[in-house]
Structure 1
Amino acid sequence: MESQKEARTLQEPVERPPGASRSQTPKDKERQEGGAVPAAAALGAEGDDTSADGLWELPVEPAERRPECSRCSRPQKVCLCPFLPAHPLPISTHLIIIQHPAEENKVLRTVPLLAACLPQDKCKVKIGRRFSEERDPELSTVCRKSGTLILYPGAEAANLEEFILDSPVYPSTIIIIDGTWSQAKDIFYKNSLFRHPKQQEDFHLQARKRALTRTLTMQVQLKTSISSQYVIRMQPTNTCLSTLECAAVALSILEKNNYIQETLLRPLQALCSFQLQHGAQIRLSKEHLLKNGLYPKPMPKNKRKLRKMELLMNSVKI
């Protein structure tokens, strides 16, 4: 009987008070080392998840923007309307701005100032990177007209002042691309819409001494020695101009009125003056910085090769 009682006590589990812990067996240690998560840790993780989920339900306050002027699109504290003309400039040339989407929300963009100086029916802004006849038939029709020009420099571009002297059809529309130089290059070369073939016309100059048959080109460029007054943004070279400056020079040539250029540049000068007074610095061109060894970024590979060739030609040790 005593042996049976001893066997029964060995088989029955021993009751422990709540909260008491027993010694860990080797299997328990292996289970914990194998990745078993204690119950308290699991409850803590679930609590963190529920608290994080609650944060997503909190209302988000919209960021407050400074009140802007409806005409010049500048903050009211630095409104440039006093530097704009009292009435839109009376011009006969239609101006179309092809604006890269990245330029639309830039704070120091110049297109709103340009549009504020011109009549609404003479200045149109089209935002995008890709244009086609299906997407924009109106722009395609304008590009096919012989009186339409696009302002973009290049080997095939004609000087605007010389072009209007020889052209039998006086230009009525000019297209300008707004963006960085890389963005403008991408828009110009990846949109065949801007290089439509024009109608061929025969015309005679110098009392029919020479007959010229040519295809009217629409690509023109400005040959000017003036430096950009848009000094708060870096330009590739000293003669590169901003969109507003290009439009000012081109319209003054087409309209044969220098007052247009002076009027359009006035708000740009005021914009740069305000920015310089509030901490902005004059940005020199990349060309100037490279020539003087002040450009912080490394020179591209193609420029480095050209530099080495120049040094070799001049018999200078590299």
Structure 2
Amino acid sequence: MSILIDGDDQPTHSNTRRRICNACERPAAVCLCDSIPAEPLSTNTQIVILQHPHEQRHRLATVPVLNKCLRNCQTLTGRRLRRGDSPLLDSLHDAASEQNPNQSLHAAFLFPGTDSTPSMEINQWKSSFGDADVDKFVLIVFDGTWKHAKEMVSASLPFVSKFATQVSLTYDIRVDGGTKFSSDLTLRKEPFGGCMSTMEAVARCLRVLEPNGLDIESRLVQVIRTMVRFQASFLKPTNRRPKLLKGSKDDEKKINSRSFCT
């Protein structure tokens, strides 16, 4: 009998339909209900996620799980943010355009900075506000591959830059990102050090922004660890290939010449 691999890398027989958990909407063999909070966690921070359309069908997407964990989390599907997508963002945009001094919400969008679009470390951003404003934040997150996320941020800048500050978590472009072989929180290969899944990034941000951020971060991270553990259980043991140093063309010619002569 032929064997099929389902969306979560779970082997199933071709004549057997997968059982799906009604609560977490994942295959029963990788159900996360024991890890997901029984009641969504309440946060003062309001979270808006723009999810790339391709991510909706990705089997390792963390946003659907994050939505089940957090109460104040809104997900939009698209390739850019613009007026009309979200009443909350529209209100922030209008208040900024009118230079409304009574606007009490502070918005930020999360993405590593560049020379042309520098970012502020999220701890510094929060510290720039007074004690009276410590629980009045809106966090905007872009969910997709790094290539897609970069395109989404660029396309959204004309809108979000009017009212939101670009912030980032600590990252290091000089260091390779983690993989499922090196971290219990990594579902996919990351491009450089400090990069992480959308769910982990939100958890790290809430640790900074929320009064009880440590507890919220801990509960979200535990869900991610469970997801990674399930994913790892379906992986075959493998040895990572060592990186080869690239020599110059002259060195390659010498090596080829010696090989030919011998």
TM value normalised by structure 2: 0.69
Aligned residues, how many? 209
Whole-angstrom distance in 2 between the partners of 1:94 and 1:242: 19
Which position in structure 1 is the counterpart of 2:35? 83
Amino acid at match of 2:227: L
1:154 lines up with 2:113 in the alignment: yes
Amino acid at match of 1:166: S
1:192-240 superposed Cα distances (whole Å, 9 cap, x missing partner): 3443334xxxxxxxxxxxxxxxxxx511111269966433411112321
1:123-157 superposed Cα distances (whole Å, 9 cap, x missing partner): 11100113322x42625415526511111110411
| Counterparts of residues 15-94 of structure 1 (less than 5 Å) | 66-94=18-46
Bigger RCO (CA 8 Å, 6+ sep): 2
Amino acid at match of 2:129: S
Is the contact made by 2:171 and 2:195 (CA closer than 8 Å) also made in structure 1?
A: no
Is the contact made by 2:80 and 2:156 (CA closer than 8 Å) also made in structure 1?
A: yes
| Counterparts of residues 206-217 of structure 1 (less than 5 Å) | none
Which position in structure 1 is the counterpart of 2:254? none
Q: 1:178 aligns with which of 135, 143, 152?
A: 143
Whole-angstrom distance in 2 between the partners of 1:98 and 1:244: 13
Q: 1:195 aligns with which of 160, 167, 172?
A: 160
Unmatched tracts of structure 1, length 5 or more: 1-62, 199-216, 296-303, 309-318
Which position in structure 2 is the counterpart of 1:128? 78
| Counterparts of residues 6-17 of structure 1 (less than 5 Å) | none
Which position in structure 2 is the counterpart of 1:223? 170
1:277 lines up with 2:242 in the alignment: no
Worse overlay, 239-248 or 64-73: 64-73
Whole-angstrom distance in 1 between the partners of 2:16 and 2:158: 40
Deviation at 1:117, TM superposition (A): 0.9
| Counterparts of residues 244-283 of structure 1 (less than 5 Å) | 244-256=199-211, 257-279=213-235
Three-state SS of the structure 1 residue aligned to 2:26 is coil
Larger-Rg structure: 1
Is the contact made by 1:140 and 1:193 (CA closer than 8 Å) also made in structure 2?
A: no
Whole-angstrom distance in 2 between the partners of 1:184 and 1:223: 18
- Percentage of pairs with the same residue: 30
Whole-angstrom distance in 1 between the partners of 2:238 and 2:46: 33
Deviation at 1:278, TM superposition (A): 2.1
Amino acid at match of 1:266: Q
Is the contact made by 1:117 and 1:264 (CA closer than 8 Å) also made in structure 2?
A: yes
Three-state SS of the structure 2 residue aligned to 1:275 is helix
Is the contact made by 2:81 and 2:160 (CA closer than 8 Å) also made in structure 1?
A: no
Whole-angstrom distance in 2 between the partners of 1:184 and 1:232: 17
1:50-86 superposed Cα distances (whole Å, 9 cap, x missing partner): xxxxxxxxxxxxx986232233221122211001122
Whole-angstrom distance in 2 between the partners of 1:137 and 1:248: 22
Is the contact made by 1:99 and 1:178 (CA closer than 8 Å) also made in structure 2?
A: yes
Structure number with higher helix proportion: 1
Amino acid at match of 2:144: G
1:95 lines up with 2:95 in the alignment: no
